[in-house]
Amino acid sequence: MSDREARTPTPAELRILRILWRLGPSTVHEVHAALATEKSVGYTTALKMLQVMTEKELVERETVGRAHRYRPVAAEETTQRQLLRDLVDRAFGGSVDALVLRALSDVDVPQADLEEIERLLSRERERRS
């Protein structure tokens, strides 16, 4: 249990990571302030989360005076990929395109986005040729 596993972050952990990706390295105070705008939560809760996340190596911290400044260990992109991989495996039998197709068939996706994705997709496809 003490080692390298790179488990996917829990929902509460992800909420904090998103704040750190947005704000950059931040103190508990700053994280708590940002968190409190979307969800009522105590200061020590934010602190404890960050401590646990440090333990799990989801974040690193640097000492600044008497306080700590936290930063995410993984880039947002990396974590998003990991979460997608996880979902693809758990719910789509490992097929990325089954997931993509399902996502695109969502009625909420605006027409304009479909066109945009189509453009990016063909660019991506060509990049690989």
Partner DNA sequence: AAGCATATACGAAACCTGTCGTACTTGCAA
Partner DNA sequence: TTGCAAGTACGACAGGTTTCGTATATGCTT
* Site residues, a copy of itself (CB under 8 A): 11, 14-15, 18, 77, 79-81, 83-85, 87-88, 90-93, 96-97, 99-106, 108-109, 111, 113-118, 120-122, 124-125, 128-129
Closer of 21 and 43 to DNA (Cβ): 43
User: Which residues, listed in sequence order, are joined to residue 62 by a DSSP beta bridge?
Assistant: 69
Non-local (6+) Cβ contacts of 8 within 8 A are: 79, 82, 83, 86
Q: How many residues bind DNA (CB under 7 A)?
A: 25
Among a copy of itself, DNA, none, what does residue 87 contact (CB within 5–8 Å per kind)? Answer: a copy of itself
Among a copy of itself, DNA, none, what does residue 79 contact (CB within 5–8 Å per kind)? Answer: a copy of itself
Classify residue 124 by burial, with Cβ atoms within 10 Å: 0-12, 13-18, 19+. Answer: exposed
Among 39, 123, 125, 128, binds DNA (CB under 7 A): 39
* H helix count then E strand count, the chain: 6, 3
Among 20, 28, 34, 59, binds DNA (CB under 7 A): 28
Asked whether the beta carbons of 8 and 83 are under 8 A apart, the reply is yes
Binding mask 91-120 for DNA (x = CB under 7 A): ------------------------------
Round to whole Å and give the CA distance between 104 and 109: 7
Residue in the structure block whose two tokens are 């929902």: 11
